[in-house]
Amino acid sequence: MPQNARESAVPMLMVTRITAMRFTRNAPMLAMGKCFSAMLYAGQGSIRYTRSLTRIPVRTSSRSYEVLVERGLLRSASALLRELVPSHAKAFLVSSPPILRLWGTSLTESFSDAGVSLEVLEMTDGETSKRLSAVEKLAGKMVSLGADRRSVVIAFGGGVVGDVAGFLASIFMRGIPVIQIPTTLVAQVDSAIGGKTGVNLVSGKNLMGTFHQPLAVLADPEVLSTLPDREYRSGLFEAMKYGVIRNPQIFDLMETHREALLRRDGELLERLIVECVQVKADVVSADEREGGERRILNFGHTIGHALESATKYKHFLHGEAVGWGMVAATLIGEGLKITDPGAAQRIIAMVLAYGSLPVVQVDGKRILTLLQSDKKTMGGVPHFILPTAIGKVDVVNTVSGRAVIEAAEEISQLSKAR
Amino acid sequence: MPQNARESAVPMLMVTRITAMRFTRNAPMLAMGKCFSAMLYAGQGSIRYTRSLTRIPVRTSSRSYEVLVERGLLRSASALLRELVPSHAKAFLVSSPPILRLWGTSLTESFSDAGVSLEVLEMTDGETSKRLSAVEKLAGKMVSLGADRRSVVIAFGGGVVGDVAGFLASIFMRGIPVIQIPTTLVAQVDSAIGGKTGVNLVSGKNLMGTFHQPLAVLADPEVLSTLPDREYRSGLFEAMKYGVIRNPQIFDLMETHREALLRRDGELLERLIVECVQVKADVVSADEREGGERRILNFGHTIGHALESATKYKHFLHGEAVGWGMVAATLIGEGLKITDPGAAQRIIAMVLAYGSLPVVQVDGKRILTLLQSDKKTMGGVPHFILPTAIGKVDVVNTVSGRAVIEAAEEISQLSKAR
C-alpha cells in the first residue's frame, strides 16, 4: 500500500467516490457525501488506481455541469464522451504539440471508442499565443474542416489552451459548447472550472474574454506525471490557496504530506485535486460572475498579478507569483490585526516550505502603481483578500499604500534570504 | 398638416406614445396599449415632431431593456443617458467618421448635458472592417484611455458599427454594457435589437460573435434623413419583412403610403419604425437564441445570404438581397401550395414596387450549393421561412433543390425584365 502511517492519519476528506458507471447526461447530479469510501486496489502492480470516478457539480445560472476526476480518465472517457457530445456532432480538439505527443493517443482512442468524429487543431502554448489572432486562425481551420453550430470544442492542455479554446468556443458562430480537459495542476484545480475564458492585449493580460461554462471538465491526475517540476509546484500554491480561503483540511493535508505530494503520490494528489475542485465549484456556483463571493478566489492574486506584470510574465509562473502574493497578503493582514498570528505563521511557513520560489526584485512602489491600474481595481481602490484564520478570508478595501509597499519589501527580503 | 386623406385612412397602429418624462432605470416598463394617441404639433413650421417618446420593451433571460424611438432623440437624450450610464462610468462612443461629421455634435452635446464623460473612438465602416483586428484595435485604445469594468460602450452607426462595437463590449474585460444608437433604417428596425454581435472571418460573415443584449436602444428617425437613397430603400425591405412574417398592418401601411415613405415623411417613418421594432422585440423576447421563433426573422434571408455571398457582398446591400430573397421564398411557397396566391402576388408586387433592386446574375445551382454551406444549415437540410398569408409564416425543411434552383432562375429573369 502506498500510504505510510503518517499519511493515514490525515483527517477524512469530504468526498464521495462512486464506482464508474455509464454516465447519463440527464441523471441528477450526486451530492457530495461525507466519507471517503474504501479504495479497491487492483494489486501491488502498476495498475494502482481504483477505476472510480468523483463527480463534483457546478451550478451556475448559465449552465450546470460536472467536474469529473479520476486517475486514468483520459483513456477511460469513451462512455462519458459518448454522452456529452451529441451524435452527428463533430469534435474539434485544440491542444499543443507537447501534450499531443505525450497524451494525445490516450485521449483520441477514447474518442474513437466513443464513435465521436474528431479533428485535431494544434496551437502553440504560452502566454504569447493568447491572442485574438490565434483564435481567428483556429476558427478559420474549423470552418475549413466543416464545423457548424452543433460542433463541440475540446480544450486539451494547460491554462493557455483552456482560455483560448474556451474563448474560441464562446464566440464561434455565437457560441458552441466546450469540454475542458486540463493537463496542468493549475488548470485542473482552477482555470478549467468556472467558465472564464480570455486572451491578452498588448496592454494587459486577459483583457478580452467571456464567461462560457463548459459542458464538463475532465481531470485526469495521471497526466500531471509528465508536468515539469516547476509547473507542478506552481499548481500546488493554487491548491494551498483553497486551504486558506475555505477548507482547512486542504491546508492540513498539504502540511502533513508535503513530501508525498511533491513526489506526486497518485492517491494523495487525486484527493487534493478533488478537495480543491470542490471549493472552486462551490464558490463559482454561489457567484458566477465575481460580483461577490468569487472574489475570494483572488487571495494572493492582487500582489501576485502585479509581480507577474512588473516582470512581463517572464520571471514567475502564475502559481509562484500567487505564492508570494499570499505571503504578502498575510503580512498585510497581520499588520492590520485581521489575520490571527498563528495562522499567519503557518501560511507563510507553508508557502516557503513548498518553494523554490523565484527571487522578488520588484520595487514596492512599482507594485503599488501596478495595483492601481489592475482591472479589478474598481474606481481606484484596490481590494485585498486577507485571511482571518486558516479557512477564512475577508475582503478588505482599506489597505494603505504604505502597507502594500512594506509587504512588498518584506517578500523581497524573504526571497533573497533563502 | 402633413397627412393627406389617403394616409389618414391607415388603420390605427398598436402603439402607445407617452410624453417625454424623466427616464428611471428601475421603473416598470410600460405595456404597449392599443391606441395611437393624438399628436401635438408645434405648429405648421419646421418643428413638426411631437416630443414624445415611444418605449418598446424587450425581455430576454439575460437582460430586459427598452427600445426608445423619437424624432430628435439624439439631441434630447441627456436625461436618458444620465439614467443609463452609471455615475463615474466612462462612456466610449464607437462610430464612423461620416456619422460623426453629420450627427456627432447632436449626440455628444446630449452626453455633455448629461454630465457623462465621453471618449470618441473612430472606426472605418463597411464589411471589410468587421474583423477581429478592428475589435483588438478599439480595445487597445479603450485601455489606453483608462477604460475599466464599469465603462460603457456606445455603438453609434449602422449595422457594421453596431455589430463590432457590440462584440467589443461583450468581450472587453469579459463583458461591459453597450448602448446601441443605430443610424440606418436596417439597424433601427433590426440589427441593433436582440443582442446579436459579430465579426467576419475570411471564410464567411458573422462567423465569430456573441449574444450581448444592450442596456438600451435609442432610435432617432431624424438621422435617416442623411442616409443615401439606396441604403434607405434597403432598410424598407427589412421593414416589409416584418409585415409578412407577423404584422399585416405594417404591410398595409407600406402598400398605402409608398410614396410618402420613399420621401421619408417623418411621422409615417416613425410609425413604421415603431411597428417594426415591436415585432422584432416580441420575437426576440420569445426566443433570445434563435432556437425556435426567432428563426422566422430569417424570412428572405436564406436565399438573400446566398446572393450576397455569391457576389462577395459587393453587388447587393443586405436589404436588397433580402428583397430578392423574399420574392424567391414566396415563389417557393406558392409552388408548394403553402403560400396563398393572393398574398404571394401582393408580396412580390410590393418588393418590386419599392425597387430599384440590382440585377440577379447568380446561377441557381450556385445558390443551392451556398445554401448547403450556410451556418444555419443544421446537418445539411436548409430551412426555409415561407409565408402562408400576409402576417404569417411557416418554417419548412422539405424544400427540394429543384424548387430552389427554379426560384433563383425566376428572380434572375424578373430582375432583368425591369
Whether A148 and B378 lie within 8 Å, measured CB to CB? yes
Where are the domains positioned within chain B?
A: 5-233, 299-417
Q: DSSP E strands: which ranges in B307-406?
A: 384-389, 392-396
Cβ atoms of A181 and A107 closer than 8 Å: yes
CATH topology of domain B5-233: Rossmann fold (3.40.50)
Q: Is the pLDDT of residue B334 over 80?
A: yes
- Among residues A17, A71, A196, A346, the one annotated as catalytic is A196
Alpha helices in B263-383 (DSSP H): 266-286, 301-310, 318-335, 341-354, 364-372
Q: How much is the pLDDT for B374?
A: 66
| Facing A173 at nearest CB: one of B144, B170, B375 | B375
Q: Across residues A272-287, what is the average pLDDT?
A: 95
Whether B173 and A88 lie within 8 Å, measured CB to CB? no
Whether A136 and B201 lie within 8 Å, measured CB to CB? yes
d(CA B76, CA B84): 14
> B378 in contact with A at a CB cutoff of 8 Å?
yes
Q: Across residues A115-134, what is the average pLDDT?
A: 95
Question: Where is average pLDDT lowest: A12-16, A86-90, A119-123?
Answer: A12-16
> A137 in contact with B at a CB cutoff of 8 Å?
no
List pLDDT tens digits, range B356-368: 899 999 999 999 9
| Amino acid sitting at position B93 | L
d(CA A269, CA A235): 11
Neighbours of A141 (CB within 10 A): 17
Q: What is the CATH number of domain A5-286?
A: 3.40.50.1970
Whether B201 and A88 lie within 8 Å, measured CB to CB? no
Partners of A150 on chain B (C-beta within 8 Å) are: 378-379
| Facing A375 at nearest CB: one of B148, B204, B209 | B148
The three-class DSSP label of residue B205 is strand
DSSP B138-172: HHHHHHHTT--TT-EEEEEESHHHHHHHHHHHHHB
List pLDDT tens digits, range B150-163: 999 999 999 999 99
List pLDDT tens digits, range A374-392: 655 555 567 899 999 999 9
Q: How much is the pLDDT for B381?
A: 63
Matching CATH topology for A5-286 and A299-417? no
In this prediction, residue B199 has a pLDDT band, given cuts at 50, 70 and 90, of very high
- ipTM over 0.90? The verdict is no
Q: Across residues A258-279, what is the average pLDDT?
A: 97
CATH topology of domain B299-417: Dehydroquinate synthase-like, alpha domain (1.20.1090)
Q: How much is the pLDDT for B14?
A: 32
Q: How much is the pLDDT for B31?
A: 34
> B291 in contact with A at a CB cutoff of 8 Å?
no
Q: How much is the pLDDT for B34?
A: 28
Whether B171 and A210 lie within 8 Å, measured CB to CB? yes
* Residue pointed to by grid coordinates 468526498: A15
In this prediction, residue B253 has a pLDDT band, given cuts at 50, 70 and 90, of very high
Average pLDDT, chain B: 87
Nearest CA in chain A to B196: A174
Average pLDDT, chain A: 87
| Partner residues linked to A219 by β-bridges | A69
Question: What whole-number percentage of chain A has pLDDT above 70?
Answer: 85
Residues in chain B: 418
pTM exceeds cut of 0.90: no
